[in-house]
């Protein structure tokens, strides 16, 4: 029964009582899901093609200081390279998400 409730809430977040009470929260949930789509599609592509996610040096900012990415001279793994490729192909939403994530500090 709980799995069906989970799927119903996942498919229709507007049914969740927390989202009914707080419209801003519901909008944030939907935006977060949209931000994850290109990242998850890239992970799925790696799995389908049997490409490893991790490179030798796969940490640090994906975008440069000015919010732009650098395709030349930085081999930090297949996953990060494909994320850059998606941005180069015009994925504005992913680019904005990664630009905003540059301000997050890792602990």
Dump pLDDT digits (tens) for 24-82. Answer: 888 888 888 888 888 898 899 888 888 888 766 666 666 665 555 555 556 677 888 88
As a whole number of Å, the CA-based R_g of the chain is 17
pLDDT at position 44: 92
> Collapsing DSSP states into helix, strand and coil, what is residue 59?
coil
Total-model pTM: 0.57
Upper half-sphere CA count for residue 81 (Cβ side, 13 Å): 16
Do residues 55 and 77 touch, judged by C-beta distance below 8 A? yes
> Could you say which DSSP state residue 63 is in?
S
Annotated domain spans of the chain:
2-101
């Amino acid at each position: 029964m709980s799995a069906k409730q989970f799927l119903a809430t996942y498919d229709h977040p507007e049914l969740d009582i927390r989202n009914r009470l707080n419209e801003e929260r519901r909008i944030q949930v939907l935006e977060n899901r949209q931000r994850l789509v290109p990242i998850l599609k890239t992970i799925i592509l790696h799995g389908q093609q049997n490409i490893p996610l991790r490179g030798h040096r796969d940490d640090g900012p994906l975008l440069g200081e000015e919010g732009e990415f650098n395709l030349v001279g930085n081999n930090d793994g297949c996953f990060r390279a494909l994320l850059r490729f998606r941005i180069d192909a015009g994925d504005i939403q992913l680019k904005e998400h990664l630009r905003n994530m540059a301000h997050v500090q890792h602990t």
